[in-house]
């Protein structure tokens, strides 16, 4: 059992140690899954609410990550968690559909990060559709895709996303503007 404190893992990961990310994911994933499940159970059949910010904050606390952790590490923690949460949401929805207890689509509400509305700000999001669109976007424009993933699944602000991706805030804003229009057009919704 890996007893290395998370903080160390984060530092190692930030420094680019090859195994650090995997190690981090191994620790974080089960926790997030447990947290997400307990929340998702509470929701109603058709509409469930998933708050990435809340989830990750709680995971962060549970992992007892030291409070003096530099802001950048916190941001990166959130960034990694985003990918996990995306996967969790997709798995959950697929499982729900397999149960055939619901309708054709299960909607998941996301409390989107502060600044901008995405194609569906408070309304339900078709997670599978977003996931598929994201996968396509990842093939063609990795940076844009990463930004979208973080916007939806991490609860990070523009500045934090910029930090996580190593680009400027202005770039994030521009890419997001394009990506959300592209998504809205692709998903055929407004």
Residue 185 within binding range of other proteins, rule CB under 8 A: yes
- Please name which of 75, 52, 84 lies closest in space to residue 166, comparing C-alpha atoms: 75
Least distance between other proteins and beta carbon 181 (Å): 4
Q: Does position 139 bind other proteins by CB under 8 A?
A: yes
- Check residue 19 for interaction with other proteins (CB under 8 A): no
Residue 168 binding other proteins, by CB under 8 A:
no
* Member of 26, 114, 135, 168 binding other proteins (CB under 8 A): 114
Say whether residue 116 binds other proteins (CB under 8 A). yes
Locate 36 and state its tokens. Answer: 């997400």
What is the widest separation between alpha-carbon atoms in the chain?
A: 48
Q: Per-residue contact track with other proteins, 73 to 102, x per CB under 8 A? A: ------------------------------
Near other proteins by CB under 8 A, which window of 5-13, 14-22, 102-110, 175-183?
Answer: 175-183
DSSP class per residue in 26-50: HHHHHHHHHHHHHHHHHS-SSEEEE
In this structure, the dihedral spanned by the alpha carbons of residues 144, 150, 153 and 156, taken in order and rounded to 10 degrees, is: -150
Other beta carbons within 10 Å of 35: 19
Q: How many residues bind other proteins (CB under 8 A)?
A: 23
């Amino acid at each position: 059992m890996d007893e290395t404190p998370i903080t160390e893992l984060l530092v190692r990961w930030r420094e680019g140690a090859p195994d650090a990310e995997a190690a981090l994911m191994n620790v974080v994933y089960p926790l997030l899954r447990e947290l997400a499940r307990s929340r998702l159970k509470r929701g109603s059949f058709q509409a469930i609410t998933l708050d990435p910010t809340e989830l990750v904050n709680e995971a962060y606390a549970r992992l007892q990550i030291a409070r003096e952790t530099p802001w950048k590490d916190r941001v990166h923690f959130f960034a990694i968690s985003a990918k996990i949460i995306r996967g969790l949401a997709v798995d959950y929805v697929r499982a729900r559909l397999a149960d055939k207890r619901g309708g054709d689509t299960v909607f998941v509400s996301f409390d989107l990060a502060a600044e901008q509305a995405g194609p569906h700000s408070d309304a339900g999001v078709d997670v599978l559709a977003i996931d598929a669109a994201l996968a396509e976007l990842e093939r063609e424009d990795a940076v844009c895709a990463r930004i979208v993933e973080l916007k939806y699944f991490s609860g990070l602000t523009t500045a934090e996303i910029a930090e996580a991706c190593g680009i400027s805030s202005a770039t994030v804003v521009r890419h997001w503007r394009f990506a959300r229009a592209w998504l809205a057009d692709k998903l055929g919704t407004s």
